[in-house]
Amino acid sequence: MAERLRIAVLDDSQHVARDAANWSALQARAEIDFFDAPLGGEAEIIAKLSRYDVLVPMRERTAFPASVINALPNLKFIALTGGRAPSLDMAACTARGILICNTRGDFVGAATPELAWGLMLACMRSIPQADASMKRGGWHDPTLVGATLGGKRLGVVGLGKLGGKVAHYGRAFDMEVVGWSQNLTDEDAKAKGATRVDKNELFATSDVISLHLVLSDRTRGIVGAPELSAMKDGAVLINTSRGPLIDEAALIAELKRGRIRAGLDVFDVEPLPTEHPLRALPNVVLTPHLGYSVAPAFRQFYSDSIENILAWLDGKPIRMLNPNALGASKA
């Protein structure tokens, strides 16, 4: 009798996968294991996943470079949650005949900009600090005098789908909105309700700066010591995109000076190490990469993933990212 298909659902650190979708049709045809904790380094990932035929990664929480892909002997299919994962080596998968199918992300377009806006408000009004003070029995704290967003300048770095929505929120809050990215034109900025300025002006004149860029070789470290030191006293930097967009050491140094504030949802290393210096700074609001982490998104991610695996098992794959894998070697 043939061995049952083995499926690993990865990085379910919020313990939502089991209840987010109906797994029964897939459980009738396969053995499914749910992994709640990070898998560790490459050697640990390979050791833990070598027996599985199908992986269901949670976006890019676990990296799958070629060195890992090529060391997983049984891997045949990846049901990727979300539209893409830069940490997954698609070329290595295609070369081995490992098909990747993705899911819809209808709720991410609202979830991440809304979190960015929440971080802005939290920083401008010291909401986490006020909440902590109240729960300690306090009332008015003279160190927690806030500021408004209305009338201030919002600088959006990256005016794509998510950045454009943040710009829209800025106008609704009566903010002046400016934007910059490497390929932004005056026309594109105007279409998003913003004015294009150069990078130096954006960092030097904005009261709040929100990053919405895809991480790539040319955007890694795009916010460094010169940009951070140019920021106005009291300005706020928001990052809900990817941690390595910012030079982390330069950011920590600037935050320690106490001139600026930050709201951060993403980090160079995730999960953020327990003793990381960012955890001890009073002028930063931290969230654990919650940008897309909303219940409707998880329901869609996992329902689509189940549908993708069943379609592949039936020989009629859907939502294929690398269809060329169908004709590649299975070695």
DSSP string, 249-285: HHHHHHHHHTS-EEEES--SSSSPPTT-GGGG-TTEE
- 316 pLDDT more than 80: yes
Tokens of 216: 């790539």
At 329 the pLDDT is 58
> By C-alpha distance, which of 131, 119, 60 is closest to 90?
60
> By C-alpha distance, which of 105, 146, 99 is closest to 315?
99
Contact criterion met (CB below 8 Å) for 75 and 97: no
pTM: 0.92
Q: How confident is the model at residue 3 (pLDDT cuts 50, 70, 90)?
A: confident
| Active site positions, annotated | 242, 270, 289
Q: Which residues of 46-75 are buried (b: 16+ CB within 10 A; e: fewer)?
A: beebeebbbbbbbbbbbbbeeebbbebeeb
At 228-283, the pLDDT tens digits run 999 999 999 999 999 999 999 999 999 999 999 999 999 999 999 999 999 999 99
- 1 pLDDT more than 50: no
Domains of the chain listed by start with CATH number: 5-106+294-327 (3.40.50.720), 109-286 (3.40.50.720)
Q: Which residues of 26-38 are buried (b: 16+ CB within 10 A; e: fewer)?
A: beeebebeebeee
Distance of CA 247 to CAs 39, 220, 223, 224, 288, Å?
Answer: 26, 8, 6, 5, 19
Q: How many percent of the chain have pLDDT more than 90?
A: 92
Q: How many percent of the chain have pLDDT more than 70?
A: 98
